[in-house]
Structure 1
Amino acid sequence: MESKFDIDALTDDRMVYIREIDASDLPAELQEEVEGAEHLYAVHAASDGERLAVVKERGLAFALARQNDYAPVTVH
């Protein structure tokens, strides 16, 4: 059985993805603020990929998203 499904219908403005990033990938002025951390977690808007936040812990990234009424998902 084949039926077309609009995958874009599942995406809304409240979905974000959490992704591990290297601190060295941040702009120089932000690298100074991470206090020696090598890996951080970024929260990105699923709709356009815009980086909304960067935090030091994965759990904190999920908590931050939920506290702001976003639905977080992990990206590998």
Structure 2
Amino acid sequence: MSAISTATAGIISATQRFDKAAANTARNATNGQDILSDLVDQIDSRNAFKANISVIKTADEMLGSLLDIKT
């Protein structure tokens, strides 16, 4: 599996986790429950999203460098 496809799967997973945490935050805030763990989950999934974007950018740059070497 390539780095780009792995990172893409990571982005999808992080987006789904963020959406779930955001929905939990809204639901728990409405019910007067603690939202701290939901906010932490949102931050964690945001960081995972950013990390996977960095992987894609780096893989793209490496592929471009490889193509420059071959031509």
What TM-score do the two structures reach when normalised by structure 1? 0.24
Which one has a larger percent strand, Structure 1 or Structure 2? 1
Larger Rg computed on CA atoms = 2
Which one has a larger percent helix, Structure 1 or Structure 2? 2
